[in-house]
Structure 1
Amino acid sequence: MTESPSALPISRFAVPSLEDMPADIRERILAVQEKSGFIPTIFLALAHRPDEFRAFFAYHDALMERGGNLTKGEREMIVVATSGANQCLYCVVAHGAILRIREKNPTIADQIATNYRKADITPRQRAMLDYAMKVSKRAEEVDDADFAALRAHGFDDDDIWDIGGIAAFFAMSNRLANMMSLRPNPEFHMLGRQPKAK
């Protein structure tokens, strides 16, 4: 007899209770819960290693929350495309939900996770994802021609760093999530698929 999906643990590793977490981590998790209505399992799983939790989210926020020429939706496109290529269930599901919300588009995440080359995106976004995928899967092949192609679409050096940094960070995140067998929250699956009720 197989276990139902809801009975499976969220991680292969021990997950501390909120009461046992350091105060700063517990406060951050409770703030996320208040904003979203649930606690994304990545927060609980990474609380297993408090120093790494802090470092992970500091770098995540530095890449995903900064200003610049990439929209928040485009940043999520990078995460979803590269996570799909790296077969990371958690990141595709969780960041797919965020992408749908950011872009106000219920189909964009499924398109990008499956094959961004066929997705309804702009040529600029396609060039961005071409480069992100190369950094994620074949970073040793990145060369000046990649930078020239991005500059032809109006990306500057900060943008190019952002694209590469997000792809590289989530390549690491994808591997951690797969190592942990991190399970996405059921709530993510439906987010952004239907217009919000008024």
Structure 2
Amino acid sequence: MAHIALNEFEQMSPAIQEKARPILEKTGKLGEIFKLLALDENIYFATDAMVQRFLLDQTHLSYEIKESIALLISKENGCKMCVDVHKGIAKMLGLSEQRIDEVLEGVDAITTSEAEKALLNFCIKASKKENYKILKEEIDALKGLGYSDVQIVEAVAITGYFNYINTLSNVFALGE
């Protein structure tokens, strides 16, 4: 049970209800993170924009890499709810069960290129408290593996997004 009162559909603003309606029609329920974000329109719409732009829109990184970051960072942060949600999203976006299982075992278990493993390990390091210790040489190494500045920034932005959403979920005990 969440540590804070969550909005039900009837308590949400009309603008958020408009976003909630298709989800309710498709799934019959709203997730706890949706209900938490719906407490405030600014928080909801800022977060929704990040989800759309970072995860759902086609960007400089593949859906496979983006969802791998989502799963890895959520697992690192101990956010079971986010891991469960993103297992489902990863399947919807075309990731195989095998890939999802490998990601959840850790970067070394993933059948992928060394370049992708380096990027995913970098994201894990970027998600940590001591991310300020990342050196220019580590970023240059990713560039040497073929990643552009934009791809690296995007990967770190997705990492930061998951630190944010995992924190909300964990602090308020969502999904327990």
Tell me if TM exceeds 0.5.
yes
TM-score of the pair, normalised by structure 1: 0.79
CA distance in 1, matches of 2:167, 2:33: 13
**Residue in 2 that maps onto 1:173:** 165
Q: CA deviation at 1:73?
A: 2.1
**Residue in 1 that maps onto 2:46:** 55
**Residue in 1 that maps onto 2:37:** 46
1:143 is matched with which residue: 119, 130, 135? 135
Q: Which moved more, 1:11-20 or 1:45-54?
A: 45-54
Counterparts of 1:90-169 in structure 2, within 5 Å, are 90-137=81-128, 138-169=130-161
TM-score of the pair, normalised by structure 2: 0.88
CA distance in 2, matches of 1:86, 1:177: 10
Q: What is the letter of the counterpart of residue 144 of structure 2?
A: A
CA distance in 1, matches of 2:3, 2:135: 38
Q: CA deviation at 1:35?
A: 4.5
**Residue in 1 that maps onto 2:67:** 76
What SS class does the counterpart of residue 121 from structure 1 fall into? coil
Q: What is the letter of the counterpart of residue 114 of structure 1?
A: E
Specify every segment of 5 or more residues in structure 1 that has no aligned partner in the other structure, as ranges.
1-8, 185-198
Q: What is the letter of the counterpart of residue 134 of structure 2?
A: V
**RMSD of Structure 2 on Structure 1 (CA):** 1.9
What SS class does the counterpart of residue 12 from structure 1 fall into? coil
Q: What is the letter of the counterpart of residue 171 of structure 2?
A: M
Q: Percent identity?
A: 23
Q: Which moved more, 1:42-51 or 1:69-78?
A: 42-51
Q: Which moved more, 1:43-52 or 1:133-142?
A: 43-52
Q: Do 1:136 and 1:168's aligned partners in 2 also have CA atoms closer than 8 Å?
A: yes
What SS class does the counterpart of residue 67 from structure 1 fall into? coil
Residues 150-172 of structure 1, C-alpha deviations (whole Å, 9 max, x = no match):
11222111101100000011111
Q: CA deviation at 1:96?
A: 1.8
Q: Which moved more, 1:139-148 or 1:58-67?
A: 58-67
Q: Which moved more, 1:143-152 or 1:28-37?
A: 28-37
Q: CA deviation at 1:58?
A: 1.7
CA distance in 2, matches of 1:90, 1:70: 24
Q: CA deviation at 1:100?
A: 2.9
1:25 is matched with which residue: 1, 16, 37? 16
CA distance in 2, matches of 1:87, 1:70: 24
Aligned residues: 175
What SS class does the counterpart of residue 125 from structure 1 fall into? helix
Q: Do 1:100 and 1:107's aligned partners in 2 also have CA atoms closer than 8 Å?
A: no
